[in-house]
Structure 1
Amino acid sequence: MTSDQVHVRTPLVWLVAAAFVCAGATAPSVRGQRREPAPEYTGLVGTYCVTCHNDRLKTAGLSLQSLALTNVPEQAQVWEKVARKLRSGEMPPATVRSRPDSQMAGALVNYLETTLDRAAVLRPNPGRAPVHRLNRAEYSNAIRDLLAVDVRPGEWLPVDDSGYGFDNIAAVLSTSPALLDRYMSAAHKISRLAVGDLTLKPVEEIYDAKRDPLKGSRNEQLNDDLPFDSRAGMTVGHYFPLDAEYVFKIRFLGVQTGGEETEIDPYQVRVAVKAGLHTVGVTSPRENLKPERDAPADGPGGGTGGRGGPAQIPSPVDLRLSGARLKRFDVRATTPEVNKLIIGGPYNATSRGDTPSRRTIFVCRPVRPAQEPACARTILTALAHRAFRRPVTSADIEPLYAFYRKSREAESGDFDSGIQAAIEAMLVSPEFLFRIERDPSTAETGTAHRVSDVELASRLSFFLWSTIPDAELLDVAERGKLKDPAVLERQVRRMLDDPRADALVSNFAGQWLHLRNVETVKPDPVSLPFDEALRQSFLTETSLFVSSIFREDRSLLDLLSADYTFVNQRLAEHYGIPRVYGSQFRRVTLTDVNRRGLLGQGSVLTVTSYPNRTSVVQRGKWILENLLGTPPPPPPPDVPELKAAPHGKVLSMREQMQVHRANATCAACHGRMDPIGFALENYDAVGRWREQDAGAPIDASGKLPDGTEFQGPAGLSRLLLTKYQDDFLRTATEKLLTYALGRGVEYYDYPTIRSINREAARDNYRVSSWILAIVKSTPFQMRRALDS
């Protein structure tokens, strides 16, 4: 390890230690204006709550016996919990005979929430998150926007831990020596790609094709990177580091190449390629007509080796680079299945190339050696300004310049290699890898203060884009204009219109709705009609659907009720939607009310099933946890498996769950989960509609513990949009606020959540109003100073 590496690594380790210190702040007490509660409220709590939640029983570890409704803000954590349980109807339990009048219980909830909201305005508590390390997605995007190198380097790092359902939670984004080594390695590789290192040695990159081992590929265009009249194949984005020659090798399933050397490998080609990111594709012409495949033995194209019998006519396969055909191969296979693509190089490099990254980095070019120091400082100042997300000083630039000078003065060094060394050091700086917010010197201990405009800019860009602020946002912040509400709103709307806002769908919605799990689920392809094409179709459908809700600024409620979706031919066949052809996705209107919204989409239905059957429990739990914010408690240990019926009788899922609920311990939670899951039983384990299960008609009716009845997916959606609409909106806001802040929601954030929903309600919960309300909220714009 060099002394320079130690110099960079040491502050990083100290920052990690500081992060744990910053995490320990506690909430200040809140004293709001008091309003005398109605005597009926005190009577309701004493009659229906204290009977179980008293000092002697302490049911669920809670006693209300010594708490008074006259000082609600002083016990905000307890009363917030009481208000939630009463509003959701969970307490008193449905099993008790005597329940309070619903109107009186609602009035008590309104009193509690109004009192707590008023106190929160008088004494805001925005909370405090520790130092925030960039997660893998943020790291990749930051590199892309800083250096114009889109190679997803976050995938070279270990998988991030998750908390509260998201992988951008500051408290769980830990740092270890192994991770620091990965950062060092990634910085070295990124800087060489960005600048272009003429000393790079040839390497081979192997890409495996996504294919279905049982069902093969479909006779249709794979994606828009390949020609319309092509079929199957694979595409990859590959970064070519230099202007040089590269070798492309294609491997086919069941086809022998005869060797690895150029002279005897019929499926490889060596060509010159310009540096930069290119799309490399392998595909075949679509089979519109069935050609004759037999040829005379030992004739042209024959490959029988003199054994007699028919020989296969070679099938054409195209290697394409950035849309253009590079070479056509003749493959001796009826339907060639691409297995691997191998790219090797660079060979015989001619130059560093003219890449977007070099144009971004080299904002000046020294003509004479005497101009190099000034130009180097100009380059490093511009890069550090974006990388550190704030104005930089000589104290920031001098350490980077020292790396530049050391590499420049080396025996084989030049100006470009010096800049490369400085960039490598910049990418392991704590100022780049961590989002660091500092309390102002005037902040009083434990009090709330506004974050600076520059800190607000970072909060905003990582929330909406999962990346660093762009030049416009940073400029507005540095001029102190971002705190202006009108300017802030203009910036938010501009950012939502930017393509980078797609990160909000992929990172927020992808984790909230568990869409990322679609990539890893493994339904049984023998018993279920599932293949890789369907997996990708599930992902694309829901991504396009959620993106349309955000892009078109629709109501948040449309997530559950929209009468449209996006399908290609493969997905339309799965759903039974007629007259949809080809692999391109298009928007279609849904005539079947059961398919409307998220609950009718194969992605959600598949990730909430087992590999070979549906799961009433998982589907019910998914809705309770992700849509209603009332997750059931963890199951007790040694929960028995669903038992088979005697005498070999095949039971439906409802019959099996009825046997399971006969256990009183299980019935308490399954009484809430199962009715919700039963409503979705017409969908099989991969979201295909069915009318029967185990030979019997499916009963998709549900009845909740409070007596509410509903029928099928459409009835469940109506229930969520009526009786449980407030719960859905509150849960969605909690999830988005958690993601925006990078910390879990605490009891002192509940007044903010109610305020956000009131603001969004004025515009029918349009996505822009919802996001703007979060951006303008107290915890997003403020921070609590350390208690000591």
Structure 2
Amino acid sequence: MAASLKADLSPKTVAFLQTHCFGCHGEEKQKGDLRLDTLSQDFTDPEATKVWSEVRFRMHNAEMPPPEEPQPIPEALAQITEEITFSILKGRAARQARRGPISHHRLSRSEYVHTLYDLLGVVFDAEAPGALNEDPRWHGFDRLGSMLTMAPSHLQRYYEAAEQVIQEAFPDTPRESKLERKEVGEQKRRLLQLGEGWSIHLPDSGRYRIRISASGLAAFTGKLPYLCLWHEHHKRSFQGRVLDAAEEAPEIIEFEGLFPAGHYQIRNHARTIKHANGGISMFLNELIDASQPVASLRGGHRSPWTKVVDEEGRPTMPLLLVDWAEIEGPLLLASDLAKREGVVPEEGQGPEAWLASLQGFATRAWRRPVDPVQIQPYIALIESEQEAGESFRSAYRTALSTLLTARGFLYLEEGDPETNRSHLQAHEWANRLSYFLWSSMPDAALLDVAQSGAWTTPSGVEAQVQRMFEDPKIDRFLESFPSQWLQLHRVGMFEPDPELYPRYGPWLEESMIHETKAYFAEMFRGNHPIAELVDSDWTLLNPRLAEHYQLPVAHPTHWARVDLPPHASRGGMLTHASILSLTSDGTRHRPVHRGAWLSEVILATKPSPPPPNVDPL
């Protein structure tokens, strides 16, 4: 039988298989339809490798040979398992080398947005209606080069996006930040019961400072309201916090950050109340006299579903009382304006100045050295636009927007088809590292290190990685990687049955997702042992999630790290509500699906298909 085996495995391993395996999986007998004496040892063959992986797994778990058969010496079994493992890894590497590299791939939507912001300081909402196509996912990941192809439907949207971004960065008249105040009404306050909101509008995407004067009244149970800014198109909140402020002493809450354009609601985060007839109702908001306390509303209501206080004048639910909202923006930070310096030359300068400015901008935008010859078509475009009657500024904007639709901007490129080189150049290394950790273009410091040659030494790479870890842009990695790896975009896909989970709502769902992301970030920043991904004595909770887990509230309004009691089962990510909901259907747990998810996502092992005579779940 040994003659039928290839010589990929050592004679010692072949002898082991003859002694302990071929009796049940050989010429005369094939238990489980498995025959090893004729199984190919070409580990570049994925089908054969799949079988060897199963054999290795069963050997490692002491399932082969079975307990009733003569057992090998444990040390010998460990050596055989190690050799098969090494052969599998060698075969995988050989397959990948044979496959050839992907020399270029399109920027993902998130990479496109971050690159535009780091290049020009412009906030572009890629998820707005009609903006950019959604990126395809593969096992949760949306940044795989082989998936990020360019379809005809993309092109027109990229042209429109580039024009919008350049127009915003270089308008004919400088944009000014505006301050708008929206009053509820003279001597009036907006009462926001659970699930209701008060609308505000941001006309443009950008950085805003939003200030809200409001009171937060706890229900008689002690639960506080959660004030958030809920985007009506994106269907999620962008900022929020628990509010505890007396009715006669409203608090001014300030949110500042990057916001997409659109309609927002200042919302007391949604929860539904089930009627006796089985229907679901959202509470309505009301205008109330600011001179009268909420307790005065306890009488005169037509329905108990709108009664906000009990007979003792205590709120029956968490309430928000809003006085006004103040919107300042878009804020133009000096750091954002600095990104645009030198991009547009002074009007009246000639083609030489255009060339210098465009070459400098293209070098940053295309993330590689740019030859002046490559800029000549853009010089010609400016001249032709001016001949057609366009102003210099309009013509120059056309050249810039065309540059942002070039292959060098929309794609990450590596290699050189003319020389067929097999090694990375300095700027390509910088791009790889930057798009991995920052989802965006490399900064000047990283490019300087690349050009100096320090990137070729382990100490040089380590120093840059550590610097990048400490940059705020690392938050992009800490946000996107766990979302893709753990497939958190699927949380809420199967809405829980309101009969079984009447208290489930957007605030809880967002808290579930945030817990897992924050836990991953804490693991990363604190350099915790990797075992704590699955088992730990701590987690991070806000009041809503602490209530859901029936754990003590660590902080009345904010997220906080919590040391779990010995009896708690919430340590590690696998028992996070977000992860458990992924493998449920809204009414019950699905153990088989949960096991398959665990195998694929955590153990990186695709489970075997079910036997042919087993009905699908």
**TM-score using structure 1 length:** 0.55
Distance 1:122 1:52 in 2: 28
Q: How many residues align?
A: 505
Name the stretch that deviates more: 358-367 or 499-508.
Answer: 358-367
- Cα 1:237/1:474, change in 2 over 3 Å: farther
Residue 287 of structure 2: aligned partner: none
* CA deviation after TM superposition for structure 1 residue 496, in Å: 1.9
Distance 2:94 2:499 in 1: 62
Which gives a bigger RCO, structure 1 or 2 (Cα 8 Å, sep 6+)? 1
Residue 392 of structure 2: aligned partner: 414
Distance 2:171 2:399 in 1: 14
Q: Does 2:397 align with 1:425?
A: no
Q: Quick check: 1:361–1:379 contact (8 Å CA) kept in 2?
A: no
For residues 162-201 of structure 1, what are the structure 2 equivalents within 5 Å? 162-196=137-171
Pick one of 226, 231, 235 that aligns with 2:229. 235
Distance 1:76 1:640 in 2: 27
* CA deviation after TM superposition for structure 1 residue 545, in Å: 0.7
Residue 601 of structure 2: aligned partner: 626
* CA deviation after TM superposition for structure 1 residue 458, in Å: 1.2
- Cα 1:513/1:440, change in 2 over 3 Å: same
SS at match of 1:548: helix
Residue identity in the other structure for 1:571: L
* CA deviation after TM superposition for structure 1 residue 519, in Å: 5.1
Residue 56 of structure 2: aligned partner: 86
Residue 560 of structure 1: aligned partner: 534
Distance 1:459 1:38 in 2: 43
Q: Quick check: 1:563–1:590 contact (8 Å CA) kept in 2?
A: yes
* CA deviation after TM superposition for structure 1 residue 216, in Å: 2.5
**CA offset digits 1:19-65 (Å, max 9, x no partner):** xxxxxxxxxxxxxxx99936365232564268547799798798652
**CA offset digits 1:301-321 (Å, max 9, x no partner):** xxxxxxxxxxxxx96442221
Q: Quick check: 1:537–1:568 contact (8 Å CA) kept in 2?
A: yes
Residue 487 of structure 1: aligned partner: 460
For residues 87-166 of structure 1, what are the structure 2 equivalents within 5 Å? 87=57, 89=60, 98=69, 101=72, 103-113=75-85, 125=97, 128-130=100-102, 131-153=104-126, 156-166=131-141
* CA deviation after TM superposition for structure 1 residue 197, in Å: 5.5
* CA deviation after TM superposition for structure 1 residue 196, in Å: 2.4
Residue 284 of structure 2: aligned partner: none
Pick one of 353, 362, 374 that aligns with 1:384. 362
**CA offset digits 1:403-427 (Å, max 9, x no partner):** 3334455534233x23321221112
Distance 2:457 2:38 in 1: 47
Pick one of 382, 394, 417 that aligns with 1:404. 382
**CA offset digits 1:242-295 (Å, max 9, x no partner):** xxxxxxxxxxxxxxxxxxxxxxxxxxxxxxxxx998999764899997442389
* CA deviation after TM superposition for structure 1 residue 472, in Å: 1.4
Residue identity in the other structure for 1:321: I
List runs of 5+ in structure 2 lacking aligned partners: 1-6, 176-191, 198-208, 217-224, 233-257, 270-289, 301-319
- Cα 1:540/1:120, change in 2 over 3 Å: closer
- Cα 1:121/1:411, change in 2 over 3 Å: closer
For residues 654-733 of structure 1, what are the structure 2 equivalents within 5 Å? none
Q: Quick check: 1:280–1:319 contact (8 Å CA) kept in 2?
A: no
Q: Quick check: 2:106–2:145 contact (8 Å CA) kept in 1?
A: yes
Q: Quick check: 1:564–1:590 contact (8 Å CA) kept in 2?
A: yes
- Cα 1:147/1:593, change in 2 over 3 Å: same
Residue identity in the other structure for 1:619: R
**CA offset digits 1:330-352 (Å, max 9, x no partner):** xxxxxxxxxxxxxxxx9xxxxx9
- Cα 1:92/1:469, change in 2 over 3 Å: same
Pick one of 496, 510, 514 that aligns with 1:540. 514
For residues 558-597 of structure 1, what are the structure 2 equivalents within 5 Å? 558-591=532-565, 592-597=567-572
Residue 486 of structure 2: aligned partner: 513
SS at match of 1:595: coil
**CA offset digits 1:379-401 (Å, max 9, x no partner):** 32222112111111113322233
Q: Quick check: 1:53–1:63 contact (8 Å CA) kept in 2?
A: yes
SS at match of 1:546: helix
Distance 1:53 1:401 in 2: 73
Residue identity in the other structure for 1:437: E
List runs of 5+ in structure 1 lacking aligned partners: 1-33, 201-212, 239-274, 297-313, 324-345, 347-351, 643-788
Name the stretch that deviates more: 402-411 or 118-127.
Answer: 118-127
Distance 2:548 2:119 in 1: 42
- Cα 1:62/1:504, change in 2 over 3 Å: farther
Query: What percentage of residue pairs aligned between the two structures are identical?
Result: 26
- Cα 1:540/1:83, change in 2 over 3 Å: closer
TM-align CA RMSD: 4.7
Q: Which has the higher helix share?
A: 1
Q: Quick check: 2:214–2:321 contact (8 Å CA) kept in 1?
A: no
- Cα 1:53/1:361, change in 2 over 3 Å: farther
Distance 2:423 2:443 in 1: 22
Residue identity in the other structure for 2:383: R
Q: Quick check: 2:27–2:37 contact (8 Å CA) kept in 1?
A: yes
**CA offset digits 1:149-180 (Å, max 9, x no partner):** 12232662222222354211222222211122
* CA deviation after TM superposition for structure 1 residue 631, in Å: 2.8
Residue 457 of structure 1: aligned partner: 430
SS at match of 1:561: coil
Distance 2:343 2:44 in 1: 61
- Cα 1:281/1:118, change in 2 over 3 Å: closer
Q: Does 2:297 align with 1:293?
A: yes
Q: Quick check: 2:211–2:325 contact (8 Å CA) kept in 1?
A: no
**CA offset digits 1:714-753 (Å, max 9, x no partner):** xxxxxxxxxxxxxxxxxxxxxxxxxxxxxxxxxxxxxxxx
* CA deviation after TM superposition for structure 1 residue 438, in Å: 1.5
Q: Quick check: 1:544–1:566 contact (8 Å CA) kept in 2?
A: yes
Distance 1:383 1:49 in 2: 67
SS at match of 2:439: coil
**TM-score using structure 2 length:** 0.69
Q: Does 2:581 align with 1:606?
A: yes
Distance 1:492 1:519 in 2: 35
**CA offset digits 1:559-590 (Å, max 9, x no partner):** 11232211111111111112445442111111
Distance 2:508 2:94 in 1: 53
Distance 1:612 1:129 in 2: 45
Residue 496 of structure 1: aligned partner: 469
**CA offset digits 1:511-548 (Å, max 9, x no partner):** 21121212544112332131111011111111111011
Distance 1:86 1:224 in 2: 59
* CA deviation after TM superposition for structure 1 residue 182, in Å: 1.9
Distance 1:113 1:419 in 2: 59
* CA deviation after TM superposition for structure 1 residue 233, in Å: 5.3
Q: Quick check: 2:210–2:328 contact (8 Å CA) kept in 1?
A: no
- Cα 1:118/1:636, change in 2 over 3 Å: closer
- Cα 1:443/1:174, change in 2 over 3 Å: closer
- Cα 1:50/1:395, change in 2 over 3 Å: farther
Distance 2:537 2:15 in 1: 46
Q: Quick check: 1:563–1:596 contact (8 Å CA) kept in 2?
A: yes
* CA deviation after TM superposition for structure 1 residue 479, in Å: 3.3
For residues 736-775 of structure 1, what are the structure 2 equivalents within 5 Å? none
- Cα 1:538/1:609, change in 2 over 3 Å: same
